[in-house]
Amino acid sequence: MELLRRRGRRSQKNMVTDIKIPELGENIESAEVLTVLVQAGQKIEKDQPLIELETDKATAEVPSEASGTVKEVLVKAGQSVKVGETILRLESADEKPDARSSEPEREAPRASAPSRVSEPAEETIVPSRTTADKTMDDENGRAASAKAPSKPARPKRAPARSAAPKKPAPEPLRLVDTPPQEEEAEEDVAMPPELGQPAPAAPSVRRLARELGIDIQQVPPSRGGRITEEDVKSYARRLIAGAQVHEAPDLSMVRPGIPELPDFSAWGEVEREHANKIRRVTAETVSLSWNVIPHVTQFDRADITEVESWRKRMHERSDASGAKITITAITVKVLAAALKVFPKFNSSYDARTEEIVYKKYVNVGVAVDTEHGLLVPVIHDADTKNILTIATELTDLAERARARKVQTDELQGSNINLSNLGGLGTTYFSPIVTWPHVAVIGLGRASLEPVYLDGTFTPRLILPLSISYDHRVIDGAEAARFLRWMAEAFAEPMQLALEG
């Protein structure tokens, strides 16, 4: 009866639930804990935020799946966590007590009778009986096997404990430093040169490796033991193919053997600061893009005198709607129209299959400078929206990006990016194409310049344009035509209605 009482008490124990990181978005496997919003011993309600996470340039809260008391918090601010990882344990009352817990009350008068089984035996009554039955089954099985030796034994049946262990077969002799896998290899595999030893390669081969951003020490040599140009090119192709299948950029796969920084403290005082999530993602993304994409940058100039005059006239109308029509919003519309005319700029290159993937939708990313780093919210379906709608959406996205309230899906899906540094006074620059895009547009500061028109010099407002592109997909002539089309669309706004 004491055993039943004990079981009854156990059935009334509180339930402990593991709260785990839910799915955060497409291709997002990990995030960084920004803030832990609860602590051990705190009572919480269902759907109450537990922690705040920072994913790829966005923030998200993880709500509680149930009500209860926080038993244990397993994460802390600054820690990296993966989808499915337990972040805390929640304790809640079990509302389903064991029905047998009421039985001891009726048996209370007999509680003084001496028990025929000691307390420890009560705890092990059922396990002991089960173990005995299992041992008997094993003995019967061994007896049946002995009577019928011709019958094949079951391959997965474990040997009885009482049986004498079989003597292990002697392992085949092998060299001390030779792994077992290498003995069965049919042919030798060329390995990169060891660290500290000069790579066996000609100066021209070393130069090619440097131009491709490849560590010559990581390139496996040919059969003769020397690294050839074809070895370097083959290694580069493997790196590119590997980068194409990454769900998230991996710097170590693109630039192996990153050297360690020197000890700067030998020359003076230094200070280290841990890079935040946005800076680390940016570093990995641009490193991947720079090493995978062969960049070329071209420049042009757009006469935006008429567009700027129209923008000022529309200022009152845009203020009434809460939006602010800027040259950036106008450029998004021009760029979206240009992608319809030049579909190759709205594509991606698949190095694994050597195919160009054309996209039938137009999403434009716009770089926003924040105190935490660069964020790129996306104007989805920009080709179907008018300039006023784009301006309204862009204003909202930029404000929420600076406040770190932009959602993950609002930072994904862009086909091409736009970076406007005109407000900072710059003119021409070379933006980096973000993999897997094939192009990026840069805007500089517009300025009044004398332009020779109709036999006289006239002051015109000139906007500097830059385009960087993936030379695997786009040639220089195509980039020139694309940028010139954009410049003419600024100069002649009706061109958007005719060709866009």
The alpha carbons of the chain give a radius of gyration, in whole angstroms, of 34
Contact criterion met (CB below 8 Å) for 70 and 88: yes
Residue 107's contacts (CB-CB under 8 Å, 6 or more residues apart) are 1, 4
The region, left, alpha or beta by phi > 0 then psi within -120 to 50, assigned to residue 161 is alpha
Q: At what angle do helices 203-211 and 229-244 cross, to 10 degrees?
A: 20
Contact criterion met (CB below 8 Å) for 56 and 121: no
Contact criterion met (CB below 8 Å) for 256 and 218: yes
For the record, the structure tokens of 313 come out as 């006239």
Q: At what angle do helices 387-402 and 327-341 cross, to 10 degrees?
A: 120
Catalytic residue chosen out of the listed positions 246, 295, 372, 471: 471
Amino acid identity for residue 466 in this structure:
S
For the record, the structure tokens of 250 come out as 């991996």
Residue 462's contacts (CB-CB under 8 Å, 6 or more residues apart) are 301, 302, 303, 304, 446, 447, 448, 449, 451
Phi/psi of residue 478, nearest 5 degrees: -65, -40
Amino acid identity for residue 492 in this structure:
E
Contact criterion met (CB below 8 Å) for 363 and 377: no
For the record, the structure tokens of 352 come out as 């694994």
Q: Please give the Cα distance from 230 to 179 (Å, whole number).
A: 29
User: HSE (CB half, 13 Å, CA atoms) of 424?
Assistant: 10
Active site residue 471: yes
Q: Please give the Cα distance from 383 to 363 (Å, whole number).
A: 8
The residue behind tokens 């000139």 is: 462
Q: Please list the alpha-helical segments (H only) found in 218-375.
A: 229-244, 251-254, 277-292, 305-313, 315-321, 327-341
Which residues participate in catalysis according to the annotation? 471
